[in-house]
Amino acid sequence: MMSKVETKKGYFGEFGGSFVPEPLQAALDHLEKAFEQYKDESEFNEELEYYLKEYVGRPNPLYFAQRLTEKLGGAKIYLKREDLNHTGAHKINNVMGQVLLAKRMGAKRVIAETGAGQHGVATATACAMFGMECVIYMGEEDTRRQALNVFRMELLGAKVVAVKDGARTLKEAVDAALMDYAENYENTFYLLGSAVGPHPYPTIVRHFQSVIGREARAQHLEKEGRLPDYIVACVGGGSNAIGLFAPFFDDKEVGIIGVEPGGRGLATGQHAAPLTAGEPGIIHGFKCYMMKDEDGEPASTHSVAAGLDYPGVGPEHSYYKAIGRAEYVAIDDEEALEAFHALSRTEGIIPAIESSHAVAYAMKLAPTLSADQSIIVNLSGRGDKDVQQVFDMMHNKK
């Protein structure tokens, strides 16, 4: 069954689709068939629910940030606590769903790409727990910058392949993983980490991340007896955001706001905000808003948050923007860092720098609203992984 938001199979308006060579298309067709077969099967969903509860720790709270709310004055701020999940972020929701799908498909081997290493760690975690072989592709440059995450993946029993092509970062890692997948899809499952890539990945990732929005919607109804006025999430590839947004799509009274990384400022060009400042194009086998250089190729990007540093974005977000269902805004590096400190001090919660972008926007929005209104902010991850980086930045400034 197609989602009501998919205008034709694999498309969200003009966005999405699958622009890949033939061998890879065969693998994707195979995956789509399996996903359609299992996603509504009760045994599959019972098993997924079991692991989300017992292993991931769901449902996580929708926490009323009372001190932050009082400090800002205005709408109530609620935090959806994805940071409390096992491995410290929302990524594990999607990983558990896809690993169970891999098992059903009889795959012996799971591969994944990773940039900063967060998706690689989540994938290695689930593969360890299910006893599956795990290979993680990572640009050689990233393996150097994120040496501790490489070690984490190895502790968990994964093999990390350092990709030495091109700029040796995420793009090359994706290309290497796709090539492996096209060759080995009979026994290998490619576990993609965000709501991007060719069909059916954006649909699969949205499906498994929607648990965030379903829980948050029910929790807010229970606490407030009504729906929130706004829901806010940071957007890299867009998986934590679409997971929160999708279950609210038909609730027209709920404003949807996606927060992109404005980096050093939109005017500098050094950002990763394709929805706010990009244009439609094709990247990694699908159509979306993207940041282009003079030749129309994916531009180089910058964000203080490694997890948001990508020149494309999920096709479903591109569609939400095109039809005006969501608003996309940018928060720059400095504003995100201020929110990182503010939430740490007022609530005793150190947020991921990615999530701090959403917190920063909510901190601007709340004072413009009234006390009987409310905002849900998706706290996509915890900041433990970022304290060294913030420490270094603070000390270099002096």
Ligand X SMILES: *Cc1c(COP(=O)(O)O)cnc(C)c1O
Give me the active site residues, please.
91, 113, 380
Residue-wise burial string across 64-88, b where 16 or more C-beta atoms lie within 10 A, e elsewhere: ebeebbebbebbbbbbbbbbbbbbb
- Which residues lie below 8 Å from residue 186, measured CB to CB, with a gap of 6+? none
Q: Does 234 bind ligand X (CB under 6 A)?
A: yes
Q: Give least dist CB 194 to ligand X, A.
A: 3
DSSP letter at 260?
A: E
Considering only 106-114, 251-259, 277-285, 349-357, which stretch makes contact with ligand X by CB under 6 A? 349-357
Instruction: Compute the half-sphere exposure of residue 93: CA atoms within 13 Å on the CB side of its CA.
Output: 32
Which residue number, 62 or 121, has a Cβ lying nearer to ligand X?
Answer: 121
If phi > 0 it is left, if psi is from -120 to 50 it is alpha, else beta; for residue 249 that is: alpha
At closest approach, how far in Å is the CB of 239 from ligand X? Answer: 3
* 120 in Cβ contact with 138 (< 8 Å): yes
Tokens of 7: 């205008």
The percent of the chain in helix, strand and coil, each rounded to the nearest 5, is 50, 20, 30
State which residue has the least CB distance to ligand X: 381
Asked whether position 307 contacts ligand X by CB under 6 A, the answer is yes
User: Buried b vs exposed e over 106-123: b needs ≥16 C-beta within 10 Å?
Assistant: ebebbbbbbbbbbbbbbb
Q: How far is CA 44 from CA 103, 186, 203, 368, in A?
A: 11, 21, 17, 44
Task: Show the site string, 251-280: x = touches ligand X by CB under 6 A, - = not.
Answer: ------------------------------
Q: Of 177, 238, 247, whose CA–CA distance to 217 is shortest?
A: 247
Say how many residues touch ligand X, by CB under 6 A.
Answer: 20
Per CB under 6 A, the list member of 79, 235, 275, 329 interacting with ligand X is 235
In the complex with ligand X, the residue whose CB is nearer, 13 or 243, is 243
- Interface region with ligand X, contact rule CB under 6 A, candidates 167-175, 214-222, 250-258, 350-358: 350-358
Residues in 174-233 at the binding interface with ligand X, rule: CB under 6 A: 194-195
Q: Is 26 helix (H, G, I), strand (E, B) or coil?
A: helix
Among residue numbers 354 through 373, which ones bind ligand X (CB under 6 A)? Answer: 354-355
Query: Does the protein bind ligand X through residue 238 (CB under 6 A)?
Result: yes
From the CB of 54, what's the least distance to ligand X, in Å? 22
**Please, which residue, 146 or 239, has the CB nearer to ligand X?**
239
The string of DSSP letters for 298-311 reads BPP---SSGGG--S
| Shortest distance, position 131 Cβ to ligand X, whole Å | 25
Q: Across-strand partners of 378?
A: 80
87 is an interface residue for ligand X by CB under 6 A? no
**Type of residue at 205:** V
Verify binding: residue 308, ligand X, rule CB under 6 A. Answer: yes
Helix (H) or strand (E) holding 358, with range, is helix 353-365
Question: Counting contacts by CB under 6 A, is residue 237 touching ligand X?
Answer: yes
Q: Which of the residues 122 through 161 are near ligand X (CB under 6 A)?
A: none
91 or 220: CB nearest ligand X: 91
Closer residue to ligand X in complex, CB, 185/319 = 319
For ligand X, give the closer residue by CB, 118 or 188: 118
CB of 391 to ligand X, least distance (A): 18
In sequence order, the β-bridge partners of residue 13 are: none
* Closer Cβ to ligand X, 160 or 359, answer by number: 359
Interacting residue ranges for ligand X, rule: CB under 6 A? 89, 91, 118, 194-195, 234-241, 307-308, 352, 354-355, 380-381
